[in-house]
Structure 1
Amino acid sequence: MENLETIFAVIKNLITFNLSAIQKHEWELFQGYGFFMLVVFLVVVLYAYCFHLYRSEATGEKNYEKYAKLALEDDIDDSVLENKRSA
């Protein structure tokens, strides 16, 4: 509970631009928890993106194998993968 109070005090000092009031150990604690929260957030975003790709391919909205083959079969006379409506 003490760490949580320290983190909120650091956030308050950052918002009020009172940077001289932040001690070194408080800043290190804030950086540690901040890095952990950033990693957790990025992992959640990565898994959500992977789930989106899996679901869109499973429902037939997109076929990502066509796009994977594009790297191997990229000649000037190859057929177009998708016909897009012009704006």
Structure 2
Amino acid sequence: MEHLSIIFNVIKNLVTFNLVAVQKHEWEIFQGYGFFFLVMFLSIVLYTYWYHLYRVEKTGERNYEKYANLALSDDINDSVLENKRSA
């Protein structure tokens, strides 16, 4: 509970640009929790994106093997991978 009040005080001081009031140990606690939540957020985003790619491949909306072969068949006379309508 003490750490929660420290985090809110640091956020309040950051918003009001009163950085002199933030002590070193408070800043270290804020950085530790911030790093933890950033890693958790990025992990959730990564696994959500992975699931999206997996689901789109399984439902047949997109075939990513064509994109994997794009580097091998990169000639001027090769066919277009996807026909998209123009804007």
Do they superpose with TM above 0.5? Answer: yes
Q: Deviations over 1:3-37 (max 9, x none)?
A: 11111111111111111110000001101110111
The percent of aligned pairs where both chains have the same amino acid is 76
Off by >2 Å, runs of 4+ in structure 1? none
In 2, Cα distance between equivalents of 1:80 and 1:52: 24
Residue matched to 2:62: 62
Tell me how large the CA RMSD over aligned residues is.
0.8
Other structure's SS at 2:84 match: coil
In 1, Cα distance between equivalents of 2:8 and 2:18: 13
- State the TM-score, normalized to the length of structure 2: 0.95
| Structure 1, unaligned runs of 5 or more | none
Counterpart amino acid of residue 85 in structure 1: R
| Structure 2, unaligned runs of 5 or more | none
Structural mapping, 1:13-24, within 5 Å: 13-24=13-24
In 2, Cα distance between equivalents of 1:3 and 1:27: 11
